[in-house]
Amino acid sequence: MIVKTGKEEILTYLEDASNFREGSAERLYIPDDEGDLISILTDCAKNNIPVTISSGGTGTVGGRVPREGVILSMERFNRIINIDKNEKTSTLQAGVVIKDFLDLIEKEGLFYPPFPTERTAFIGGNVATNASGEYSFRFGPTRRYVKKIRMILTNGDTLEIKRGCLYEKNGVIDYGMFKVPLPSYRTPPVKCSAGYFSQEGMDGIDLIIGSEGTLGVITEVKVSLIDALPPRFIVIVFLRDEEGIPFIVKEIKKMCGDALFSLEFFDSGSLEFLKNDFPAIPENTCAIYVESVSNTEEMERWLDIAERYNAVDTWLAEDRKNYEKLIDFRHRLPENINAYFKKIGIVKVAMDIAVGEDSFPEMYGFYRDMMKKEKIHSILFGHIGENHLHFNLFPASDEEKIRAKEIYEICVRKAISLGGTVAAEHGIGKIKHKWLEIMYGREGLKEMAGIKKIFDPYCILGLDNIFPKALLK
C-alpha cells in the first residue's frame, strides 16, 4: 500500500472534471488489495475519519473530491480477472481503466456497450455513477450490464450481490446482513442517475449501482458483454432548422429503427466550440450526429434524409481514419467545454436533464425559448435520441451567475413537471443536492440518508455525495 501526505502529491486527487474547488484531504491511500482496504476502512471508522473513494477522476459533479479526511484511490485494483467468451461475461477489479478493458475484449471479438465518452474512467467509477455512453441510445446504461458486485463496507465486512438473487418484497430489500426499506419515491422511467434507485420489486444490486461512493467500496464487478459491433459509419448532417429538430429526430428514429447505434445533437452554439478543431463546419448550422450499421441501404437512406431536410452539408465517415476523426468530433465538445470552464474558473453550469419521449418536444421548445429570452450565452447539445440534452450556460458576470442558477432551477422544475430527471448520466455528487431535493423532496433525501446509515453506520464514506451530510445526524 502507498500512503501519501504531501500536499503536492495529493493535489491532482482534489479535483475532477466539475471544477469543484473545495477539495481538501490529510492523506491519500493507494491500497494494493482488499486486506489493505479493510484495515484503512476499519481504522477510519474507529477514529471517525471521512473517506472518499477516487477512481479515474473524470466525474463531473465533484463526487471523488473530498472536503475532509482521507482519499482512497482504487488505481491498483487494475486486474482483469477473467473473460468468459462462452458466457460473454468478464470479471474485473474496480480500478481497471475502461479503455484498457475495451482494447482487450476487442481482441476477443467482444464489446462492452455502456462505457462513457471519457475512456480514462475506471469500471468502478462507471458502476458508482451508472454511466451511460455513446451507445446508450441503443444499449442502455451501465446498470443493464452489471451481473455481480463485490463491495467492502466500512465495518470491514464483504458484501457480494449477484443480479437475480435478491429482490424487494413487502417494502424491504433483505441483504442478509441487514434489511433496507424501499424508499417512498420512485426513479422515473427515463435515462436516470439521480440518487439511489427505487422501484417496486427491484433487484438489490440496483441500489448499489449509481450510489456514488456512499454505501461501500466496490472492489470487483462481473459484467455482461456482447459480440463485437458490426461495421458502422458515422454521418453528421448540418442543418439550418434548429426549431424543427424534435420532429426531424422523431422521423429519423422511425425511419432508421434498429440500424442506429447513437443519435446526438449539437446546436449552432456548440458547433462554435468545435470550429478551431474542425474549421469546415458550415456557418449558422446545427448538426445531427448518427452512428449507423454500415450497408448500402442505410447509406442511401442518409443521403435521402440529408436531401429531405435541406442539409447544408453532410459528412460521412466509413473508413477507419475518417471514422476516428468523427468520433473525435463528438468527444472534443465536452472536453473543450470543460477546459473553458476551468480557464474561467467557475463550476460548470451544465444540466443533465432527461425527460420521456412524449415530453421531449415540449422540453426542447422550453430550452429554445429560454435561450432566446435570456442574455446569458448558452448552448444545447447531447443525447437527443434518449431525450437527454446538456443545456450549458456561460455566465460572464456575477449578476449572470445568479441568473444562471435561477434558469437552472426553472429548467429543473419544468423537467420534473414533465416526469423527467435532474441527472440522466452524471449523478448528483456534491453540486446537485438542491436539484435532487426538488425532484424527490426533503423526505426523499432523508430516506436516502437512512439507507446510507444502514450500509455505513459510522457515516464516514463519500460524505456530501448525493445529499448533504447534515442529514446523517
Ligand X SMILES: Cc1cc2nc3c(=O)[nH]c(=O)nc-3n(C[C@H](O)[C@H](O)[C@H](O)COP(=O)(O)OP(=O)(O)OC[C@H]3O[C@@H](n4cnc5c(N)ncnc54)[C@H](O)[C@@H]3O)c2cc1C
Chain residues that interact with ligand X, rule: CB under 6 A: 16-17, 52-60, 63-64, 74, 94, 116-118, 121-122, 124-126, 128-129, 131-133, 212-213, 217-218, 334-335, 338, 425-426, 462, 465
Least Cβ distance, residue 236 to ligand X (angstroms) = 17
Q: How far apart are CA 402 and CA 342, in angstroms?
A: 19
Query: Would you give the DSSP letter of residue 448?
Result: H
The three grid cell numbers given for residue 132, joined into one nine-digit string: 451511460
**Least distance between ligand X and beta carbon 330 (Å):** 9
Whichever of 154 and 285 has its CB closer to ligand X, that residue is 154
Q: Which is nearer to ligand X, 117 or 378 (CB)?
A: 117
Residue 238 or 455 with smaller CB distance to ligand X: 455
Q: Between 9 and 87, whose beta carbon lies closer to ligand X?
A: 9
* Residue 278 Cβ vs ligand X, minimum distance, rounded to whole Å: 17
C-beta of 13: minimal distance to ligand X in Å? 9
Radius of gyration of the chain (CA): 22
Least separation in angstroms between residue 221's CB and ligand X is: 9
In angstroms, give the least distance from the CB of 72 to ligand X: 9
Minimum distance from CB of 321 to ligand X (Å)?
22
Q: Which is nearer to ligand X, 338 or 359 (CB)?
A: 338
Are 273 and 340 spatial neighbours (Cβ–Cβ below 8 Å)?
yes
Residue 127 cell numbers, joined: 458502476
Distances (CA, A) of 308 to 233, 251, 292, 317, 375: 20, 11, 18, 20, 34
Nearer of residues 60 and 378 to ligand X, judged by Cβ: 60
In terms of CB distance, is 53 or 384 closer to ligand X?
Answer: 53
Closest distance between ligand X and the C-beta of residue 262, in Å? 10
Q: How far is the CB of 138 from ligand X (least distance, A)?
A: 14
Among left, alpha and beta (phi > 0; psi -120 to 50; other), residue 302 is alpha
d(CA 419, CA 359) in angstroms, rounded, equals 8
State the minimum distance, in angstroms, from the CB of residue 86 to ligand X. Answer: 28
Residue with smallest beta-carbon separation from ligand X:
125
Q: Specify the residue, 133 or 183, whose C-beta has the smaller distance to ligand X.
A: 133
- Residue 83 or 123: the one with the smaller Cβ distance to ligand X is 123
Q: Where are the alpha helices (DSSP H) in 47-112?
A: 98-107
How far apart (Å, rounded) are the C-alpha atoms in residues 221 and 168?
Answer: 21
Looking at the Cβ atoms of 90 and 465, the one nearer to ligand X is: 465
The DSSP element (H or E) to which 29 belongs, if any, is strand 27-30
Q: How far is the CB of 14 from ligand X (least distance, A)?
A: 12
Residues 6+ apart with CB under 8 A from 174: 166, 204
Q: How far is the CB of 93 from ligand X (least distance, A)?
A: 9
Whichever of 312 and 346 has its CB closer to ligand X, that residue is 346
What b/e string do you get for 316-343 counting C-beta neighbours within 10 Å, with b at 16 or more? bbeeeeebeebeebbebbbebbbeebee
Q: With CA atoms as reference, report the closest residue to 461 among 112, 194, 217.
A: 217
- Please, which residues bridge with residue 464 across strands? none
Do 299 and 316 touch, CB atoms closer than 8 A?
yes
Report the C-alpha gap between 71 and 6 in whole angstroms.
Answer: 13
Q: Going by DSSP bridges, is the β-strand pair 260-266/286-293 parallel, antiparallel, or unpaired?
A: antiparallel
DSSP string, 336-392: HHHHHHHHHT---EE-B-B--TTTHHHHHHHHHHHHHH--SEEEEEEEGGGTEEEEE
Burial class of 202 by CB neighbour count within 10 A (0 to 12, 13 to 18, 19+) = middle
User: How far is 264 from 385, CA to CA, in rounded Å?
Assistant: 6
* Residue number with CB closer to ligand X (219 or 285): 219
